[in-house]
Structure 1
């Protein structure tokens, strides 16, 4: 297994762990949002898709097949886009109420970007 695959797997694990950590807090309403717990809002549970895409990307990083590795470009790209969407969604102000964003939200986006870059630089044998 190449170094980029190992780094990509570690980055995906960080994305999965960040789904369980606090992403945003609205102190005026006493709400704390994680990727899996967004009670009091209409955000849904975006952390579930983070976990699903992260597990899929990690399994594809372990694969040696050339075509399966090319599928990881889509999976990691979608993971990056989804985490970026989550960052925009959870950090925006609505009706004059601005949440305090947690560091896990930004770490998740950074780790997804690292995983995507690792997909770009992973070499597969023909």
Structure 2
């Protein structure tokens, strides 16, 4: 297993951990949202897909076959896009009230980008001659 695979697995674990950290606080209402706990809003639970994609990326990074590398690329790209979507969705201002973004939201995006970079630069399986 290469160093990039190990780094990608660690980054995917960071994405999973960030789902449980605070993503957003609305000070006027006294609400704190995580990726899995958004009671009192219409955000849903966007971190469920983050966790599922991160686990899938971990499994695919452990397998060093050509189809797994291509699937990992698709999965990491989707994870990064979904994390960026969450950043845009959670950090927007509504009705003159701007929420305070917390570290978990940014950590999710940074971890997803790290997974994508590790998958992009990962060497595929050796070709047989």
Residue matched to 2:9: 9
Task: Mark the runs of 5 or more structure 2 residues left unpaired by the alignment.
Answer: none
Report the secondary structure of 1:96's partner residue: coil
Which runs of 4 or more aligned residues in structure 1 lie more than 2 Å from their structure 2 counterparts after TM superposition? none
Residue matched to 2:71: 71
Q: Return the alpha-carbon distance in structure 2 between the equivalents of residues 40 and 63 of structure 1.
A: 41
Report the secondary structure of 1:11's partner residue: helix
Report the secondary structure of 1:37's partner residue: coil
Q: CA deviation at 1:17?
A: 0.2
Report the secondary structure of 1:77's partner residue: helix
Q: Return the alpha-carbon distance in structure 2 between the equivalents of residues 32 and 104 of structure 1.
A: 12
Q: Calculate the TM-score normalised by the size of structure 2.
A: 0.96
- C-alpha distance after superposition, 1:5-44 (max 9, x if no partner): 0000000000000000000000111111000000111000
Q: Return the alpha-carbon distance in structure 2 between the equivalents of residues 95 and 76 of structure 1.
A: 34
Residue matched to 1:102: 102
Residue matched to 2:47: 47
Q: Return the alpha-carbon distance in structure 1 between the equivalents of residues 84 and 44 of structure 2.
A: 16
Q: Return the alpha-carbon distance in structure 1 between the equivalents of residues 64 and 109 of structure 2.
A: 26
Q: Return the alpha-carbon distance in structure 2 between the equivalents of residues 36 and 104 of structure 1.
A: 11
Which structure would you say has the larger Rg?
2
